[in-house]
């Protein structure tokens, strides 16, 4: 079941899943507030969606790893009374092992993956609760359940998954839907930016961004909080979490050859 929304705020909207959320929501007549660092891309996307779908598209250039930018966006959210969908999508994969990180990448990831979704969600909820209607999508990852995806990336994505589950429990019967979208390998710019060689990964493990977003938006009409798109991703997630296979997965994660194959 699909649900319609009046206005959606999407972080990380200049590319990848964020851009695809913007496109699919605009097709349904949802007005948009698009947030990302790259102002030129936001302007181009906003002009295209306004012309094509006749929706109102406002842009808000911001780097969510910076306190000033995040605080300004929080104030904007508080002033946007008709916001009824928040998509916390901004994120990055990182290039450094935790023990080698000398650039503050770990702290930056915590600010973007953990602090920003938490404070933006808290800012958006009061108006949603007054109306008794709204939704929050936190873009997590199958990496939230994986021992192969790096100390900081997996940990921050795991936060988003459990934050969503427990927040939904707090909001039972209040008309607010919370979702942790946990995609696997998806064809976006994400992996190139993170320095991952996509050609070394079998094609059958990949999904297209438009399919991932369709599954996410459709699932908002149901009761699932953790949404893992794609049968293969659900199987992989099951094997990583199942008590019968958990020990085997952990053993594999400690093998040097396996870690090298996984890009660790």
Residue 37 is given by DSSP the state S
- Token couple for 56: 């109102």
pLDDT band for position 204 (cuts 50, 70, 90): low
Q: Give the global pTM.
A: 0.86
Residue 251 confidence (pLDDT): 47
Do the Cβ atoms of 64 and 73 come closer than 8 Å? yes
Residue 187 confidence (pLDDT): 56
The length of the chain, given as a count of residues: 264
Average pLDDT, the chain: 86
Residue 89 confidence (pLDDT): 98
Of 5, 7, 76, 157, catalytic: 157
Of 153, 198, 208, 257, catalytic: 153
136 pLDDT exceeds 80?
A: yes
Residue 104 confidence (pLDDT): 78
Lowest average pLDDT, out of 163-167, 220-224, 241-245, 254-258, goes to 254-258
Stretch 95-108: mean pLDDT = 77
- Higher-confidence residue: 195 or 159? 159
Stretch 117-130: mean pLDDT = 98
- Token couple for 71: 């605080």
Rounded to whole angstroms, the Cα distance separating 82 from 3 reads: 15
pLDDT in tens, 51-70: 999 999 999 999 999 999 99
Closest CA to 116 of 139, 96, 94: 139
Residue 221 confidence (pLDDT): 86
The answer to whether residue 153 is catalytic is yes
Rounded to whole angstroms, the Cα distance separating 101 from 178 reads: 33
pLDDT in tens, 163-197: 999 999 999 999 999 999 999 876 555 444 444 44
Residue 194 confidence (pLDDT): 43
Domains and CATH numbers, the chain: 7-230 (3.40.50.720)
Backbone φ, ψ for residue 84 (5° rounding) = -125, 5
Rounded to whole angstroms, the Cα distance separating 134 from 153 reads: 28
């Amino acid at each position: 079941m699909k649900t319609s929304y009046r206005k959606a705020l999407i972080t990380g909207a200049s590319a990848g899943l964020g851009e695809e959320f913007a496109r699919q929501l605009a097709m349904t007549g949802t007005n948009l507030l698009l947030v990302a660092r790259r102002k030129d891309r936001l302007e181009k996307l906003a002009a295209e969606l306004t012309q094509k779908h006749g929706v109102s598209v406002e842009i808000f250039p911001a780097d969510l790893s910076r306190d000033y930018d995040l605080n300004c966006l929080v104030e904007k959210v508080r002033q946007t009374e008709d916001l009824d969908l928040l998509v916390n999508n901004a994120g990055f994969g990182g290039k450094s092992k935790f023990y080698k990180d000398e650039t503050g990448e770990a702290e930056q990831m915590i600010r973007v993956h953990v602090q920003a979704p938490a404070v933006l969600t808290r800012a958006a909820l009061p108006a949603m609760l007054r109306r008794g209607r709204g939704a929050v999508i936190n873009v997590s990852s199958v990496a939230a359940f994986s021992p192969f995806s790096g100390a900081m990336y997996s940990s921050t994505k795991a936060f988003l998954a459990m934050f969503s589950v427990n927040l939904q429990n707090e909001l039972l019967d209040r008309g607010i839907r919370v979702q942790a979208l946990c995609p696997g390998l998806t064809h976006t710019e994400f992996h190139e930016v993170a320095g991952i060689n996509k050609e070394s990964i079998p094609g059958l493990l990949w999904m297209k961004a438009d399919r991932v977003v369709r599954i996410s938006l459709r699932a908002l009409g149901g009761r699932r909080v953790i949404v893992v798109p794609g049968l293969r991703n659900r199987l992989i997630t099951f094997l990583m979490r199942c008590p019968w296979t958990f020990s085997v997965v952990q053993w594999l994660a400690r093998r040097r050859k396996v870690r090298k194959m996984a890009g660790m």
